[in-house]
Amino acid sequence: MKKLFILCLLFALAIPSVSVSQNPLTKEEKVQAMYDLNKKLIESQNFSFIATWVIGQDKRKEVAENENTISINGTNIYGPLSTLEAGRPVMLKGGLENYTVNFNDETHVITVNFKIGSYTAKIEVKSTGNAFLELNNMNSGKQLTYKGGIK
């Protein structure tokens, strides 16, 4: 009976150490996994940029994700983005021009450039998964930056 009790005690002590010994992903492995996922999304040319912040030269504000999502599907884009002026969103709609993508495998940064109407845009997806959209109005010279992510 004592032997059975000791054997059960040894198993009870050994089980937690076995489960703890599994190595979690390293920081570099997590960054690489995020980069690979975002790279596949961008390569598909079927993704959305979801803004959470709009940033101007002298101020910024948090924005609602459901009202600040642009979708890129092939060579077309559609969606509204808030501005820092109340009630004056930007609507991006139509065919993309000069669409280019750059994958920097060394720094894990993806850059997408395109033109839509009177706007030039650059989406930069960082190794953390955060994405930034720089939107320049060629007519007025105004620039806004949006922080968010891609999906």
Q: What is the pLDDT of residues 3-50, one digit of tens each?
A: 655 655 556 666 655 444 457 888 888 889 999 999 999 999 999 999
Q: What is the DSSP letter of 125?
A: E
The pTM of the full predicted model, rounded to 2 decimals, is 0.82
43-46 long-range contacts, CB within 8 A, separation 24+: 43/101, 45/72, 45/73, 45/74, 45/75, 46/72, 46/73, 46/74
Rounded to 5 degrees, what angle do the CA atoms 126, 42, 108 make? 30
Q: What is the pLDDT of residues 69-122, one digit of tens each?
A: 999 999 999 999 999 987 789 999 999 999 999 999 999 999 999 999 999 999
- Mean pLDDT in residue range 124-132: 94
Domains and CATH numbers, the chain: 25-150 (2.40.128.410)
Q: What amino acid is encoded at 97 in this protein? A: E
